[in-house]
Structure 1
Amino acid sequence: MKVEIVEIVDQKGLKKFVDFQWQMYPDHSPWVPPLRKTIFDALDQEKNPFYKHAKLQAFMAYQGKRPVGRIAAIIDDRNNDLHEENVVFFGFFESVDDQDVCDALLDAVRSWGLNRNADSLRGPASPSSNHEFGLLIKGFDLSPRVMMSYNHRYYMTLLEQAGLKKEKDLYAWDISTDIGFTERIGRVAERQKKRHNILVRSVNLSQFDREVRIMMEVYNSAWEKNWSFVPMDKSEFNHMAKDLKDVIMPELCMIAEVDREPIAFALALPNINQALKKIRSGRLTPFNLLKLLWYLKGPFRKNTITEGRILTLGVKREYQNLAIGSLLYMEFLKRGPALGLRLGEASWILEDNTEMNNSIKGMNGTLTREYRIYQQDLSIQS
């Protein structure tokens, strides 16, 4: 059947774009429904500060009156200026198992990008590498952790049949907080801190703005030379921090200092997806809000939220020879059990970050999920 592509131009269309994801995954799926408000926020070009340097166009695919797919085209001027490239990203991709639908969606992104001088296609990025990034290619029987993506197994085939090639794989590791192991890890961490005069402290939520500023400075310095990295400015970092503030456990958000100078930080979150999975609609009604708060803050939280995710970690470049990244992972393992966390996910880690991958293996880490970034040259199509 013929595929019709429709540009999303108003709130009514945007609602259909967001709602489509719920049509793609049955209740028994490992997929965890996000809060709809977070998806609307990620697409809001008026209020989300990411769009001060980026633009997005959403599309939906129809066969007759039936919605069969969605995608967004994104151009991030900051990324293209920093890396001296002309990339159009695709993100928020969902499709039925039909190559014609996938091809039509990607053609819409390619055409939109070529009209804006793009010469390559990359993704998925929803909407950037600082947000949900990569297509799941391993771990389909497992639910995603907080702020990680999930998709159908056949998406990989659709994208590759459409001519996209692997650019980079991203790893997600599970690390157990088994008490016997964490006691040994804790002793190693203490020796390392004493040797280099390192203080690891929890963030002070009463000084939240100051702590966010410290983390932003370390983050942008630490990741400066990394593949795909695009620095966040103050408004973007504050926007993301504000969204996370209500779920942050101070013990899991750590800043490392030497002589009171911040040199590294790690941000880990409780895996709120374990609670969100119980709110299938994704709508934050008053009842669902109470339900979510019960799971996150109630007396039985430790029975509901048993996992964490170390979602970002940064060490200033001049201190990266001290293995402080490994130290902060060890701190997470040491602190986790008291908070009811039996497992931590370290993600995402670049496939060619050999030092960090080997370090996590040394902590009995298990590679459980893999994600892929795809690329296609558009210069031959222009």
Structure 2
Amino acid sequence: MEIFPVRSSKELKEFILLPWKVYEYDPDWVPPLVYERKKFFNKNKNPFFKHSEVEYFLARENSEVIGRIAAIVNFRHNQFHLDKVGFFGHFEVIRDYEAAFGLLNAAKDWLKYRGMEVMRGPANFSTNDDVGLLIEGLNQPPVIMMPYNPGYYIEFVESFGLRKVKDLYSYFFDPQIGFPENMLILSEKFKKKGNIVIRNLNLKKLDEELEIIKEIYNAAWSNNWGFVPLTEEEIDFLAQYLKSFVDPNLVFLAFVNGKPAGFSLSLWDINQVLIKTSGKLFPFGFLKIIWNLKVRRAMDRARVIILGVTPEFQKKGIELIFFTESFLAGVKRGCKVGDFGWILEDNLLIRKPLEKMGAKVYKVYRMYEMEI
């Protein structure tokens, strides 16, 4: 078996397509869109690479690719946190200890050579993307933009010597049980008392809206563990990906006395459609997606993917207002299952109101690290 860095377009294609081999017989895996993954991993197209250095590695045995990993130095992370943390991510491997350890060692050695003192992950590529290893809630499909992995990955990373640094929670909420009446009343009181105005995203003025969102985003999450400020190019890159299926009725902006104060983004779980495809648009994938989106209307699950309030206006009830507005809009548009995540295990400002409204933790993702 050999571990080697990706150097050709052929090898990059093998890197991108490996999950189709790992999850070939897993009915819960959701294949991503291949064209989107090609753009995401392209170092000339994804703006993440303008401030980070990344090496892709493959594991091959008997001419067959059996594993992959990315080693990542995110300079913006280290400048923001004043540390020397390197990351591993996009880790996929068949059930083979030698291959798993070989890949993790390759990432560790590459990071150490570049002066990193800690290896942390999985991060695909940063906390602004999907992160963590699914350790609880396996054997059910992932929701949009959340990771998924076989259970044996846990044994691999822990046997390698990686240890927990932080857990991330996803909450399940059944809208059919209703929203607590007292919380609905409290939400309205917060609006009036704080002169808080909530409105939906205006897609017709998306460029102007993005300027407001950029201002809110990097302020609202600045105190969160692992936070990395997004560049303007990264926000634009993400917006281009999301705008094709975002529902503006599930996106909210909060203002206090006219000043931007918070942002909440919920997305319909397109994974409910993608799971019925191979990840390829042609020849039949595109037709399947259109059929499920337009004819069958297969999506009845939504994920609250982003919910943040700038430090100046935190603890003034805006978080609860966002939950309330998201619930009311979701139910009105046919949502039957709500997913809230991921949420840091120690983020009680968000966890407490979720639990009061009846949401339950149903998935746990773990970030690991080790000194190198």
- Fold in common (TM above 0.5): yes
Distance 1:299 1:96, change over 3 A: closer
The whole-number CA distance in structure 2 between the counterparts of 1:265 and 1:373 is: 25
Partner of 2:341 in structure 1?
Answer: 347
Q: Cα distance, 1:195 vs. partner?
A: 2.4
Q: Which moved more, 1:58-67 or 1:76-85?
A: 58-67
Question: Does 2:282 correspond to 1:288?
Answer: no
The whole-number CA distance in structure 2 between the counterparts of 1:190 and 1:246 is: 32
Partner of 2:246 in structure 1?
Answer: 248
Distance 1:69 1:158, change over 3 A: same
Match runs of 1:262-273 below 5 Å: 262-273=260-271
Match runs of 1:19-30 below 5 Å: 19-30=17-28
Asked if the contact 2:219–2:310 (Cα under 8 Å) also holds between the matched residues in 1, the reply is: yes
The whole-number CA distance in structure 1 between the counterparts of 2:24 and 2:33 is: 17
Asked if the contact 1:198–1:257 (Cα under 8 Å) also holds between the matched residues in 2, the reply is: yes
RMSD: 1.5
Question: SS of the counterpart of 1:169?
Answer: strand
The whole-number CA distance in structure 2 between the counterparts of 1:167 and 1:6 is: 28
The whole-number CA distance in structure 2 between the counterparts of 1:27 and 1:275 is: 18
Partner of 1:200 in structure 2?
Answer: 198
The whole-number CA distance in structure 2 between the counterparts of 1:86 and 1:223 is: 21
Q: Cα distance, 1:291 vs. partner?
A: 2.7
Describe the superposition over 1:265-284 as per-residue Cα deviations: whole angstroms up to 9, x where unpaired.
101100000010111x2112
The whole-number CA distance in structure 1 between the counterparts of 2:19 and 2:136 is: 20
Q: Cα distance, 1:286 vs. partner?
A: 5.7
Identity %: 38
Q: Cα distance, 1:182 vs. partner?
A: 6.5
Question: SS of the counterpart of 1:236?
Answer: helix
Q: 2:101 aligns with which of 89, 100, 103?
A: 103
Asked if the contact 1:42–1:127 (Cα under 8 Å) also holds between the matched residues in 2, the reply is: no
The whole-number CA distance in structure 2 between the counterparts of 1:241 and 1:147 is: 14
Partner of 2:359 in structure 1?
Answer: 365
Asked if the contact 2:180–2:357 (Cα under 8 Å) also holds between the matched residues in 1, the reply is: no
Q: 1:32 aligns with which of 16, 30, 33?
A: 30
The whole-number CA distance in structure 2 between the counterparts of 1:315 and 1:213 is: 16
The whole-number CA distance in structure 2 between the counterparts of 1:79 and 1:20 is: 28
The whole-number CA distance in structure 1 between the counterparts of 2:288 and 2:187 is: 38
The whole-number CA distance in structure 1 between the counterparts of 2:86 and 2:57 is: 14
Q: 2:233 aligns with which of 227, 232, 235?
A: 235
Question: SS of the counterpart of 1:46?
Answer: coil
Asked if the contact 2:190–2:317 (Cα under 8 Å) also holds between the matched residues in 1, the reply is: no
Distance 1:315 1:33, change over 3 A: same
What TM-score, normalized to structure 2? 0.96
Q: 1:320 aligns with which of 309, 314, 317?
A: 314
Q: Cα distance, 1:95 vs. partner?
A: 1.4
Counting matched residue pairs gives 372
What TM-score, normalized to structure 1? 0.94
